[in-house]
Amino acid sequence: MLVKKDYTGVYVFAEQREGVIQSVALELIGKARELADVLEEKVVAIFVGKDITNQCQTLIEHGADDVICVDRPELEFYLTEQYAQVVDQVVKAFRPSILLFGATTIGRDLAPRLSARLETGLTADCTKLEISETRELMMTRPAFGGNLMATIMCTEHRPQMSTVRPGVMQKMAADPNRKGTVIPFEPKFDTARFKVELLENVKEDKGMVDIAEAKILVSGGRGVGNQEGFDRLRDLADVLGAEVSSSRAMVDAGIIGHDRQVGQTGKTVRPDLYLALGISGAIQHLAGMEESDFIVAVNKDKFAPIFQVADLGIVGDVNKIVPLLTERLKGMLK
C-alpha cells in the first residue's frame, strides 16, 4: 500500500553532456522550485556524470536545495542501463514525490525505462505542471496531434514522473548567494547488465543555430516540393539572417534533418517571425509554432489550416513568391 507521506521532494534529473549542464536542466529546476514552494518541499537535482562535482553549485544557484551527485568514470557518456541503475537506486534510497526529466533523446530514453523499473506512471512532453488541491501533480500535455490538451495525474504511484520539452519552462536567474547541500552518492553497478557499447560519439557541425533559439524562421513544407525548392528557402533565410526549419513531411522525405523539424514530434519554436511556406498546418505542426510572435503563411490551398493561426496569409505558389521575395529583400537590405 502506497504511503504518500513517505515520498517527498521535487526531483529533477539534471542532464549534462560532456560536463556541460543542459539548459533544460535549469529550466526544470526553475519549474521544480515553483512546485516545491507550493508543496513546501525541497528541490533536489540528480546530477549524473564524470568529473562533474565542481558544477553542483550551478544547480543550487538556479534553485536546487540539494544536489545528489553521482560522479563516476563509467558515467562519462549517457548509456541507458548505466544511468537507469543510478537513478533507480537514488529513487529507491530517497523516495521522491515528483521526478522530472528533459524531453531530450536522453530523457525520453531513460524516463520510460525507469518508469517500467519503478512501476510508476510517466507523462511525456508536458507543457504545464501544477499542484492540485490534493497535493497531486497535474501534468498537462498536448494529445491527438496537438489541438487537444489532456491533464494527466498519477495518484496511486510514486514518484510522479514526467518529461518536459526544452524551452517550455523558464529558468530562474542565477543567485550566487544561494546555499544548498551536495550529497555524493555511490551507486552499486550490476555490470553484467551493461550490454550496449558506445563505439563513436559524433558531433555534426550542422553549422546552424538551433531552431528553438532562432529569431526568424523560414519554414518549408510539402508545398515547397523538392530539394531545389528547399534551396530557395535557404537563399531567403540567408537574406533575412534566419534559420530554416520544416514540417514533418520534409523530414520524412529526407530533404532536411530531424533537428530542423517544427511541431509536436519536432521542436517547439517561438521566433519573432515565422514564415510558413507551403505548410498546410497539420495540427501537430501548429502545436510547435503557434506561439510565434508574427506568422506569415503562404500556401496554394486557401483552406489550409495554417491560415487560421497566421497573422498574414497569402494564397499563392511559394515557388513563385519565395524567389521574388528574396530578390526584393536583397535589394532593400543591402
Partner 1 sequence: MFRQMIREFADKEVKPLAAEIDEQERFPMETVKKMAELGIFGIPLPTEYGGAGGDNIMYSIAVEELSRVCGTTGVVVSAHTSLCLAPIFEHGTEEQKRKYLPKLASGEWLGAFGLTEPNAGTDASAQQTTAVLEGDEWVLNGNKIFITNAGYAHVYVVFAMTDKSKGVKGISAFIVEADTPGFSVGKKELKLGIRGSATAELIFDNCRIPKDNLLGKLGGGFGIAMKTLDGGRVGIASQALGIAQGAMDETVRYTKERKQFGKSLSAFQNTQFQMADLQTKVEASRLLVRSAAFKKDMGQPYSADAAMAKLFAAETAMEVTTKAVQFHGGYGYTREYPVERMMRDAKITEIYEGTSEVQRMVIAGKLFK
Partner 2 sequence: MKIVVCIKQVPDTTEIKINPVTGTLIREGVPSIMNPDDKGGLEMALRLKDKYGAEVTVITMGPPQADLVLREALAMGADKAILLTDRKFAGADTLATSNALAGAIRTLKWDLIIAGRQAIDGDTAQVGPQIAEHLDVPQISYVADLEWDNNRFVVKKETEEGYQRLAVAGPCLLTVLASGCKARYMNVRGIVEAYQKPVEIWGADRIEVDEEKLGLKGSPTRVAKAFTKGLKQAGEVFEVDAEEAVGIIISKLKEKFII
Contact positions vs partner 1 (CB under 8 A): 300-303, 315
Instruction: Kindly state whether residue 223 participates in binding partner 2, applying the rule CB under 8 A.
Output: no
Q: How far is the CB of 302 from partner 1 (least distance, A)?
A: 6
Closer residue to partner 1 (CB): 246 or 299: 299
DSSP codes joined into one string, 100-118 = EEESSTTHHHHHHHHHHHH
User: Is 297 buried (19+), middle (13-18) or exposed (0-12) by CB count in 10 A?
Assistant: buried
Closer residue to partner 1 (CB): 302 or 328: 302
**What is the 3 state secondary structure string of 35-76?**
HHHHHCCCEEEEEEECCCHHHHHHHHHCCCCEEEEEECHHHC
* In contact, 82 and 75? CB cutoff 8 Å: yes
Q: How far is the CB of 259 from partner 2 (least distance, A)?
A: 7
Q: Which of 227, 209, 236 is nearest to 296 (CA)?
A: 236
The three three-digit cell numbers of residue 128, written as one number: 504545464
Instruction: Find the part of the chain contacting partner 2 (CB under 8 A) among 25-33, 55-63, 103-111, 172-180.
Output: 103-111
Q: How far is the CB of 225 from partner 1 (least distance, A)?
A: 8
Q: Which of 264, 268, 276, 288 binds partner 2 (CB under 8 A)?
A: 264
**147-176 residues near partner 2, rule: CB under 8 A:** 147-157
What is the residue whose three cell numbers read 534510497?
A: 93
Residue 1 binds what, of partner 2, partner 1, none (CB under 5 to 8 Å, by partner type)? none
Closer residue to partner 2 (CB): 56 or 242: 242
Q: Which of 113, 171, 178, 234 binds partner 2 (CB under 8 A)?
A: 113
